[in-house]
Homo-oligomer: A and B are copies of this chain.
Amino acid sequence: MGISKTEIFTDEQNRLAVLFKALAHPARIAILQRIIIANTCICGDLVGELGLAQATISQHLKELKSAGIIQGTIEGVSVCYCIDPEAWKLMERYFSEFMASYKPTPSCC
């Protein structure tokens, strides 16, 4: 086995899991924080700033991109990455809705 049974879950559950998974690595958190601070970000800069190989950074960027969180545009010989504003807004809404669905109650085990 080892393969998640996504078909038995709702679209909402799968969608949330995909987004959380994209953020489930410190390198990807660091990359996003870097992009947020600098507004836009050249891939090469990340290689210097985080202590990871170029191939590894590229792989993490690909995951963030395939989750739809960031977008990259070719800028001459380099690639400029930035947050996808719409996707971020949507993600923020999904997360806050999920988090807000729990209301603490006195009767807990």
Hey, which bits of chain A sit against chain B, CB under 8 A? 4-6, 8-10, 13-14, 16-17, 20-21, 23-30, 32-33, 36, 39-40, 50-52, 71-73, 75, 80-83, 85, 88-89, 91-92, 95-96, 98-102, 104-105, 107-109
A-B pairs, top 8 by smallest CB distance, nearest first, are A21-B24, A9-B26, A85-B104, A20-B23, A13-B26, A73-B109, A20-B24, A80-B109
Copies in the complex: 2
13 further contact pairs, Cβ within 8 A, besides A9-B30, A85-B108:
A4-B25, A5-B51, A6-B26, A8-B51, A17-B26, A21-B21, A21-B24, A39-B108, A73-B109, A88-B102, A91-B99, A92-B100, A95-B99
